Amino acid sequence: MSDRDDQETNRKSGVAYAAALSLFFSVVSLCGVGWALDRWLGTKPWLMVVGIVLGAIVGFYQFIRLTSKL
């Protein structure tokens, strides 16, 4: 492989890792916010469920946006 092919492979790998981490951290962070709000407001488990769903939506949006650059 040439240096140019290696650079392109590394770039694509970096974008793929960024997309996967973005999906993961979106779900985890919004789930955590929902959990904290549930504890504060006493609405267990509804806000955590809403956080998971919103995190998945935001995460998949970011995932698609980043992977479209491949």
The 3-state DSSP class for residue 26 equals helix
14 burial (CB, 10 Å; 0-12 / 13-18 / 19+) is exposed
Mean pLDDT of the residues in the chain:
94
In Å, how far are 18, 22, 54, 60 from 69, measured between CA atoms?
A: 12, 15, 23, 15
pLDDT digits (tens, 9 = 90+) for 53-68: 999 999 999 999 999 9
pLDDT digits (tens, 9 = 90+) for 19-29: 999 999 999 99
What pLDDT is recorded for position 3?
Answer: 86
Cα 67 versus chain centre, distance: 12
Cα 39 versus chain centre, distance: 24
